[in-house]
Amino acid sequence: MTDGWFAVRAYGSGVHLISEPGHVNSYLVVGDERALLFDTGLGIGNIDDAVRGITDLPVVVVNSHHHFDHRGGNQHVAATEFLSHSSGVDLYGEIPSAELTDYVAAAKRMFETYSRFRELDKVKFFLTPDDLTMRPIPDLGAWSIPATPPTRVLDHGDVIDLGGRSLVALHTPGHVPDSLCLWEEDTGFLFCGDTLLTTTYWAHLPDSDVAVFAASLSALAELPVTKAFVGHNLVADVDRAFVRRVADAFAQLAAGQVVGETVDGPHGVPVRRTEGDGFAILSRM
Ligand SMILES: [Zn+2]
C-alpha cells in the first residue's frame, strides 16, 4: 500500500520534483516531444504513476549513478531508454534483499525521529516544508530491486534532446566513479544526484574519492547555475553560492587543510566528518 508515497512539486519551466520525502529526490523535465526522468528512486511505490500524473509524453530515464536508492524505480517506468554513465554499465544488477531490509530498518528509525522533530517544528521552529513530509514506511513485503541494465550509455558532453530543450550530461565522479549530473544551459538548471546534497555527503565509500569529488564540484561551481536540484532530503533546491561553498569545502578537505572529527560511520566503521554550512562530508580515515 503505497498511495501518497510520492510528493510532487512543480518548479515551473516543465521541471517537477518527484520526491520520496526524507529519502530521495527524482526530477521530471518535460520537453515538447519527450520527458526526462532523472533518477527513479527506491522502487517503493510506482513512480510511473507519478510521472503519468504530469505528462503523457514518451519518457527517457537517466540514472545519476547505480546506487539502488536512485534506480530502484527503473523496474516500474515504461521508458523508451534507460541511460547511465558508461563507467557504471555493469553495476545495475539485482540488489540483495538484505540491503533492502537494512534500509527499511534504518528508515523506520528515521521516521520515528522525524515525527518527533516535525511535531516540535510545527509548534516552534517551522523549518520543515509542509509539501515534503516524510511518509511512514509501508508494508514492504514485496519490495525488490531487480537488475535493470542501461539500454544506452552516456559520456561527458553527450546531449539529450527533449524537443525544444536539451540537457548535457556531465561526468562528475567522486561519490562514485559513475556519477552524472545534467546541465540545462538555457535555464541554468543543474540536476545533481548525489554529487550535490543538502545533507551528509558519502565520500567515504570504497569507490569514493575526495580529490576527484573536489575537481567535479569545482567544475560545477563555474557554471552559471540558477537552481541546482539535489538528490536527497527536504531541501531540494539550492543556488549557485551553495554549489561554491560545497566545492570550496571539498577542495579544503582534499588539500588536507581541514581534518574534521572522527565519528561512527553509517556502516559502523569510523569515518571523518567535516562540517559545512548546510551540509557535512564523510570521508575515509
Ligand atoms: Zn549514492
Asked whether residue 61 is domain-assigned, the answer is yes
Asked whether residue 88 is domain-assigned, the answer is yes
Q: Tell me what pLDDT residue 267 has.
A: 76
* Per-block mean pLDDT, blocks of 10 residues, the chain (285 long): 84 97 97 98 96 97 98 97 97 96 93 96 95 88 92 98 98 98 98 96 95 98 98 96 98 92 87 95 94
Q: Tell me what pLDDT residue 1 has.
A: 45
For ligand 1, the distance from its centroid to the CA atom of residue 175, given in whole angstroms, is 7
Contacts of 270 (CB under 8 A, 6+ apart): 262, 263, 264, 285
Q: Tell me what pLDDT residue 140 has.
A: 79
The reported pTM is 0.96
Q: Tell me what pLDDT residue 139 has.
A: 81
Q: Look up the domain containing 37 and give its range.
A: 7-94+142-194+227-237
DSSP letter at 201?
A: E
Q: Tell me what pLDDT residue 265 has.
A: 84
**How many domains does the chain divide into?**
1
For ligand 1, the distance from its centroid to the CA atom of residue 176, given in whole angstroms, is 7
Ion ligand 1 nearby residues (CB, 5 A): 67, 194
Q: Which three cell numbers stand for residue 200?
A: 551528509
Contacts of 125 (CB under 8 A, 6+ apart): none
For ligand 1, the distance from its centroid to the CA atom of residue 123, given in whole angstroms, is 34
For ligand 1, the distance from its centroid to the CA atom of residue 1, given in whole angstroms, is 26
Cα gap 38→41, rounded to integer Å: 9
φ and ψ of 48, to 5 deg? -60, -35
Q: Please list the residues that pair with 282 across neighbouring strands.
A: 202, 273
Asked whether residue 49 is domain-assigned, the answer is yes
Query: Domain with 33 in it: what CATH number?
Result: 3.60.15.10
Asked whether residue 187 is domain-assigned, the answer is yes
- Per the prediction, the chain carries an average pLDDT of 95
For ligand 1, the distance from its centroid to the CA atom of residue 120, given in whole angstroms, is 30
Asked whether residue 214 is domain-assigned, the answer is no
Q: Tell me what pLDDT residue 138 has.
A: 85
Asked whether residue 257 is domain-assigned, the answer is no
Asked whether residue 43 is domain-assigned, the answer is yes
End-to-end CA distance of the chain: 42
Q: Tell me what pLDDT residue 2 has.
A: 59
Asked whether residue 90 is domain-assigned, the answer is yes
